[in-house]
């Protein structure tokens, strides 16, 4: 199992902040190379400023599907139509509102 830090509340990476049926991905932060379920978890527990992934780093595996525990690249995630390409679990489409907190646009 890949370790996910922050305020995780179950084994599919849901956290205190985002815990709907669809909130099953975690993101590895560039600043510390650790997985967190969301930016609020990172902000409240990491004690440093977060950094975003640059466009030329989007082939790096930094997205974790909490259902099947597979790591996806940022490109794979963006091309997934909000479904895990491995186990077909549905991802929360509202995450796109927060992309700027994780990825350079």
Chain residues in the site for Zn ion (CB under 5 A): 15, 17, 29, 31-32, 37-38, 40-41, 46, 65, 67-68, 84, 86-87, 89
Rounded-to-integer distance, Cα 26 and Cα 20, Å: 14
Q: Which is nearer to Zn ion, 62 or 89 (CB)?
A: 89
Q: How far is the CB of 55 from Zn ion (least distance, A)?
A: 19
CB nearer to Zn ion: give 53 or 58: 53
How many helices and strands, by DSSP H and E, does the chain display?
2, 4
* Nearer of residues 4 and 38 to Zn ion, judged by Cβ: 38
């Amino acid at each position: 199992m890949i370790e996910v830090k922050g305020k995780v509340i179950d084994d599919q990476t849901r956290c205190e902040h985002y815990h709907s049926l669809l909130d099953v991905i975690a993101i590895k932060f560039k600043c510390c190379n650790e997985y967190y379920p969301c930016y609020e978890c990172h902000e409240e527990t990491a004690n440093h400023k977060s950094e975003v992934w640059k466009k030329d780093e989007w082939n790096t595996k930094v997205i974790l599907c909490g259902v099947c525990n597979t790591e996806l690249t940022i490109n794979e995630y963006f091309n997934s139509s909000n479904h895990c390409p491995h186990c077909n679990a549905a991802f929360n489409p509202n995450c796109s509102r927060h992309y700027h907190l994780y990825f350079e646009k």
